[in-house]
Amino acid sequence: MTLHILNKSPSADALIKRMLCAIEDGDAIIMIEDGVLGALDAHQGLFSSIPDNVALFALEADLEARGITSRISEQVSIADDKQFVVLCSDMDKTVSWY
Amino acid sequence: MKFSLVIQASPFSHQSTATAFRFAQTLLDEGHELFRVFFYAEATLIANNQICSPQGEADLPQQWQTLAEEHQLDLVVCIAAAVKRGVIDDNEAKRYEKASGNLRETFELSGLGQLAEAIAVSDRVITFGA
Amino acid sequence: MSEKKSVLIINQKSPYGDAAARESLDIALTCSIFEMPVTLLFCGDAIFQLLKDQQPGKIQQKKIEAMLSALPMYDITEIYVEHDSLIQNGLTDEDLCLPVTLIDQSSISQLINLHDTVLTF
C-alpha cells in the first residue's frame, strides 16, 4: 500500500492523471502545499475515478493557510501534521508527486 | 520507525523545506527516529550561514539548526549541489581558494552516498520536492 | 549497509530546461554503485531525455543522452518508458538512445509495488 503525496494544484493535470493511474486499492492520497487546492468541492470530479477504499486527505495547515477549509469536498478528510506522519508510517511506502 | 527525508526545492521559492521541517518536528514528537535529512539540488541553499531572514519571517535555517541540536540530527547537504551554489565548508573554501567557508553549524557537506545509505537503512524515505 | 533496498526513480521532467534530469541521474548512478537495484521510469516530458541526436553544444550543457547511454555500464538495465507519452509526442522506441521496456500508464502501480523506495524527479 502506497501513500501518494501530491503538492501540485489541479492545473497540473498530466501529473494528477499519472498519479491517479498509479493508485491501487488500499492506497491513500494526501494533498499538501498547493496540492490542497484539489480538495475544493469545485474539483470533486478530479478524484471521481478512485476506488472507494482509497482514502483522500488534505493537510490542515495548508488548507487553513489558503482559507479553503470550509470549501472542501465531503470526499476529503482533513489530516493534521501528526496524521500525515501516521499515514507515512502506516503505508508501506510513499510516492511524492510534484 | 526510522525515517529519512529528502528535500529538493529551494527554501526561498517553495514551501518544501518548511513542510519538511514541520514533518521532521512531528515525527520526532511522535517518538519516531529521524536517521538523516538529505538536502539536494536547490534545497542546499538552506545551509548558507550568510542568509539573513527578514524580520518577522520564519528563520528556517535557524529552525533546522535548533531542531538538529535538540535531537542530534544528521543534516547532510549534497556537496556537489552545494558547492556550485556557493555553499562551502572550510575545506572546500581552501580547495577552491575562497576567503572562507559559509556552511551553517549542524549542517554537513557530503556526497550522494549518504542518500544511498539513508535509503538502505530507513523504513521510510519521504521526498519533499517542487 | 544492512540490506539492499530496490529503488524506482520516476522521471517526469524534460532535459536541459530543468536540472532535474541530471540530478536524478546522479542519484541513480550512486545507488547503483552502492549495489542497490535501480529501475528508471521515464514519463511525460522526461522521454525527451532519451531521444537520439541531442546536440546541446550551443546551450553549453552536457549531453544527457550520452550520460544515459552509460547506464548499462552501471548495471542499470531496467529502463521503462510510459508508452502513452511516446505516442502523444509522435515518437516510437526507435527514436530513443537505449533499449527500453514500454509500459502503459496503468502499469506504473505495478512498478511502484515492486520496489522498496520510490523517488520522483
pLDDT tens per residue across span A28-81 = 999 999 999 999 999 989 999 999 999 999 999 999 999 999 999 999 999 999
Instruction: Please state, in angstroms and rounded to a whole number, the distance separating the CA atoms of residues A3 and A94.
Output: 5
Q: Is there a contact between A82 and B127 if contact means CB atoms under 8 Å apart? A: no
User: For C71-100, what is each residue's pLDDT tens digit?
Assistant: 999 999 999 999 999 999 999 999 999 999
Instruction: Please state, in angstroms and rounded to a whole number, the distance separating the CA atoms of residues C11 and C2.
Output: 27
Q: Is there a contact between C118 and A95 if contact means CB atoms under 8 Å apart? A: yes
Q: Which residue is closest to B124 within chain C, CA to CA?
A: C117
- The DSSP secondary structure of C34-90, one letter per residue, reads TT--EEEEE-GGGGGGGBS---GGGGT---HHHHHHTGGGGT--EEEEEHHHHHHTT
Strands of C7-11's sheet in order across: C101-103, C78-82, C38-42, C7-11, C117-120
- CATH number of the A2-97 domain: 3.40.1260.10
Mean pLDDT for chain B?
98
Instruction: Note down pLDDT in tens along chain B; length 130 residues.
Output: 999 999 999 999 999 999 999 999 999 999 999 999 999 999 999 999 999 999 999 999 999 999 999 999 999 999 999 999 999 999 999 999 999 999 999 999 999 999 999 999 999 999 999 9
| pLDDT at residue number C3 | 62
Interface membership of C61 toward B (CB under 8 Å) = no
Residue boundaries of the structural domains of chain A: 2-97
C-beta of residue C31 within 8 angstroms of C-beta of residue B116: yes
Mean pLDDT for chain C?
95
> What is the extent of the structural domain holding B87?
2-128
Instruction: Please state, in angstroms and rounded to a whole number, the distance separating the CA atoms of residues B115 and B8.
Output: 12
Angle, helices B16-29/B60-71, rounded to nearest 10 degrees: 20
Q: Using CB atoms, pick whichever of B111, B121, B125 lies closest to residue C2.
A: B121
The number of folded domains in chain B is: 1
Mean pLDDT of C29-41: 96
Q: Which residue has the cell 552516498?
A: B113
Please report which confidence band the pLDDT of residue C4 belongs to, taking 50, 70 and 90 as the band edges. Answer: confident
Q: Is there a contact between C1 and B40 if contact means CB atoms under 8 Å apart? A: no
Strands (E) in chain B, as ranges, are 2-7, 33-39, 75-78, 107-110, 124-128
CA-only gyration radius of chain A, Å: 12
| pLDDT at residue number C5 | 95
Q: Is there a contact between B119 and C36 if contact means CB atoms under 8 Å apart? A: yes
CB pairs under 8 A between A and C: 38
Q: Work out whether strand A2-6 and strand A93-97 pair parallel, antiparallel, or are unpaired.
A: parallel
User: For C44-66, what is each residue's pLDDT tens digit?
Assistant: 999 999 999 999 999 999 999 99
User: For B78-115, what is each residue's pLDDT tens digit?
Assistant: 999 999 999 999 999 999 999 999 999 999 999 999 99
| pLDDT at residue number C2 | 47
CATH 3.20.20.20 fits C7-120, yes or no: no
Q: How large a percentage of chain C has pLDDT more than 70? A: 98
* B52 catalytically annotated: no
> Is A10 in a helix, a strand, or coil?
coil
| CATH code of the domain containing B73 | 3.40.1260.10
Instruction: Please state, in angstroms and rounded to a whole number, the distance separating the CA atoms of residues A56 and B88.
Output: 42
> Is A78 in a helix, a strand, or coil?
strand
| pLDDT at residue number C1 | 46
Q: Which residue has the cell 522521471?
A: C11
Angle, helices A81-90/B16-29, rounded to nearest 10 degrees: 80
Instruction: Please state, in angstroms and rounded to a whole number, the distance separating the CA atoms of residues A93 and B130.
Output: 19
